[in-house]
Structure 1
Amino acid sequence: MLTVPPLRKPVLPGAWRAAAEAPTRWSCVLRLRQDGHEIRVRAERCAAGRLRATYPVGAHDVEVRILDDCPQHLLTQLLRTLTLSLWAADPSCRRTVYAAPAGDLDRIGAAEDAGFRHVVDVDLGQDELGLLVAEPEWVTGGDADHDRVPGT
């Protein structure tokens, strides 16, 4: 059985202001504000959440779920900033996961612009999602070409 560590609340730099709501041991809802926009985001350990059986989760993996409408021009910035903040709060975090509705090319594109890559599509029963992941450089070893077999 996988031991899931508590989720540490990320501290967002720059123009984003954040307040935590409804924290649990493995998740929290962040109410983020910037430029007149307010967006709620749920950060949750994947091993304790809805994605636990969808891929080989790591104990420190975190899903970032946007709960409110997020203007397209802010989504990339939000995902990038939040991911870096989660990694700073937990240096053992190997993966930040963003689950976009399958086929939603705008959200998938925004996540890819934030440094995420599409890994797999999953069916959660009521939702079909495309899982995108961002991994710190210490995990990828600086090799961003994930579609190439090493040594070829």
Structure 2
Amino acid sequence: MINVPRVPHLALHPPWNVLSTRPTHYASDLCVQGHSLQLVVRVERCAAGRLRDAYPVGARDIEVSIDGPCPPDVLTDLLGALTDAVTGEDPRCRRVVFAPDSADQTRIRAADSAGFRYVLDVDLGADAVSLFVAEPLWVTRTDRDQIPGS
């Protein structure tokens, strides 16, 4: 198994407030309040969670999941806030992953609106999910001077 670092402690920008956390080494359950809603958000290192065998995970990849109903525009805002918080606290994180149910078009559209990129659908046994990733520029930027034959 790869060496998986501790999940970072996250603080979200307004209008979001983290009311409480239940951290472990690899995951943290956050009680998040904003936009007149209170939601449970799980932040988990992919290499230690349900996605560990779903794709070639990196040790610092983080999955964010949001429990409960959430209006699409609010979900888009929350996904953006979570991505900002993760990349701010763990600048070496290569991917923030959001994996809604493959049939949940509302969450899929919200992920797309938040700047997440669709990667693939995966079967996790009891669940079929669509993997969406948000990656920092240093991951997606291509340096043509470093690519042989370019």
TM-score by length of 1: 0.90
AA aligned to 2:134 is A
**2 CA distance for matches of 1:142 and 1:39?**
37
Instruction: After TM superposition, give the deviation of residue 129 of structure 1 in Å.
Output: 0.3
* Corresponding position: 1:5 with 2:9: no
Q: Residue 35 of structure 2 contacts residue 74 of structure 2 at CA under 8 Å; is this kept in 1?
A: no
Q: 1:66-145, aligned counterparts within 5 Å?
A: 66-141=66-141
Q: CA RMSD in A?
A: 1.5
Instruction: After TM superposition, give the deviation of residue 20 of structure 1 in Å.
Output: 3.4
Instruction: After TM superposition, give the deviation of residue 3 of structure 1 in Å.
Output: 0.4
**2 CA distance for matches of 1:35 and 1:20?**
17
What secondary structure, in the 3-state scheme, does the structure 1 residue paired with 2:12 have? coil
What secondary structure, in the 3-state scheme, does the structure 2 residue paired with 1:70 have? coil
Instruction: After TM superposition, give the deviation of residue 39 of structure 1 in Å.
Output: 0.9
Q: 1:47-62, aligned counterparts within 5 Å?
A: 47-62=47-62
Q: Residue 10 of structure 1 contacts residue 85 of structure 1 at CA under 8 Å; is this kept in 2?
A: yes
Structure 2 gaps, min length 5: 144-149
**2 CA distance for matches of 1:69 and 1:28?**
20
Instruction: After TM superposition, give the deviation of residue 19 of structure 1 in Å.
Output: 2.7
What secondary structure, in the 3-state scheme, does the structure 1 residue paired with 2:121 have? strand
TM-score by length of 2: 0.91
**2 CA distance for matches of 1:20 and 1:7?**
15
AA aligned to 1:103 is A
**2 CA distance for matches of 1:35 and 1:8?**
24
Structure 2 match to 1:46: 46
